Amino acid sequence: MFQFTHIDGYHKALKSGTTTCEAAVNHYLECIQANQHLNAFTEVYESEALVTARALDNRRNNEEKTGRLHGVVIAIKDVICYKGHKVTAASGILKDFTSLYTATALQYLIDEEAIIIGSCNCDEFAMGSSNESSVYGPVKNALDESRVPGGSSGGSAVAVQAGMCMYSLGSDTGGSVRQPADFCGIIGFKPSYGSISRYGLVAYASSFDQIGIFGKHLNDVRLLWEIMSLPDDKDSTMNHLPPKQTPSSPAKKKLAIFAEALNHPGLDEEIKISLENFIEKLRAAGHTITEIPFRLFDYIVPSYYVLTTAEASSNLSRYDGIRFGKAEEEKEDLALFYSKNRSAGFGTEVKRRIMLGCFVLSTGYYDAYFAKAQQIRQLIVSQMAEILHEYDGVILPVSPATAFKFGEKSDPVSAYLADIYTVLANLAGLPAIALPMFSHSNNMPYGVQVMSKRGDEVTLLETSEVLLAVSAG
């Protein structure tokens, strides 16, 4: 029976002839079929994946040089363009839309001989924290099907969680990789803003969006990031410097934790106790953990939602039934035509965020909301830069609670406040990762989030390795 632990072991098995790429693909196709009820995939590329696998097996058998991701089976979120395949952002307005090109980050993986097995379900236009707003219906958490998998990249998280692929790609605008990873008990990595090209990623909020990675093995997650972080002239916001390859940072880490985060009234008591115990365990292992104030903490969520909804209202204006999007019946009045198309095509949450964005950008409110939020964002960027100049990283909870029940966060305000620990990294453009560590008394997983200096994913991943070792020890 096919088994996968990490890429290195898989490649050794391929080289020794104990397995094949075709056997791997068939294994994952069977898993996808067996787990259809979880609703993780919007489309499975069965025939194409098998053809690719056979071609890779032939190449390897002919002793040709193989790529670093030779035969690695990867799923992608339904907001990442793949030429000749549907990309709908889980929205009715993009029903049956076929991409004309491939996202740069995805092409880099394909160039290293990865096998793309399918497209994963998500919250509509990546707007949500529960994967309940998809036009395809909600994704279920494989550990407890009465609970959400997190969002917006819930399908990508469950695909890895339930063993339907080796790794998957998501997008993270305010925690949409880290929070579902936390709810599903796997690793979720969001690189720095500009680390990975956004060309071919359907935009939600362009100054926040970042492609991220789901997996179960930290070194493999690092490998995918290294491959995808190559330069791309098609994305003008990308950092064109090569990934920072600093010498190994000190074995004993110097980390900060925000007092306001640890003592927040919304934080589940069991999660708080686990984090406090873990901090003591780190100290006992010789690491320095300092509790420091972060007085802008209460401004994080309001600033985030003002800015992202403003950007969303601009980005989604292109979906009008003419430039992009499914058109309803034709109307002589252009405004009515647009209204009909958007009313029928967009779901409730997307409409809510578009209207909120239009409001904060409108005359008389721009200075009071949007301009003020931009000022707060700049203060957050400056303060985080100062903190991370002194510390190797900041540790935080990932979410205030474990995966919640379907329908539990029907109030949008309570749903937005659940992002309190993740949106900081997006506001400041920092790399951040969710590491699975603990199990709650309700039998659901949760872990620890780590952030590091912008552009220094190397230190973040080294620190993550240390934290996982201490947790396991």
* Catalytic site positions: 77, 152, 176
Separation of CA 74 from chain center: 14
Using the Cα atoms of residue 252, residue 258, residue 259 and residue 262 in order, give the sign of their dihedral.
negative
The number of beta carbons lying within 10 Å of the beta carbon of residue 6 is 15
- Return phi, psi of residue 116, to 5°: -90, 120
- Nearest Cα residue to 38 out of 128, 183, 171, 138: 138
Angle value at C-alpha 224, between 222 and 226, nearest 5 degrees:
70
- The beta-carbon contacts of 314-317 under 8 Å, at least 24 apart in sequence, are 314/357, 314/361, 315/203, 315/204, 315/205, 315/206, 316/125, 316/346, 316/350, 316/354
Coil, helix or strand at residue 393:
strand
114 alpha carbon, distance to own chain's centre: 19
Amino acid present at 456: D
The number of residues making up the chain comes to: 473
The C-alpha atoms of residue 456 and residue 243 are separated, in whole angstroms, by 8
Residue 233 burial (10 A CB sphere; 0-12, 13-18, 19+): exposed
Q: Is 417 exposed, middle or buried (0-12, 13-18, 19+ CB in 10 A)?
A: middle
Helix (H) / strand (E) containing 160: helix 154-161
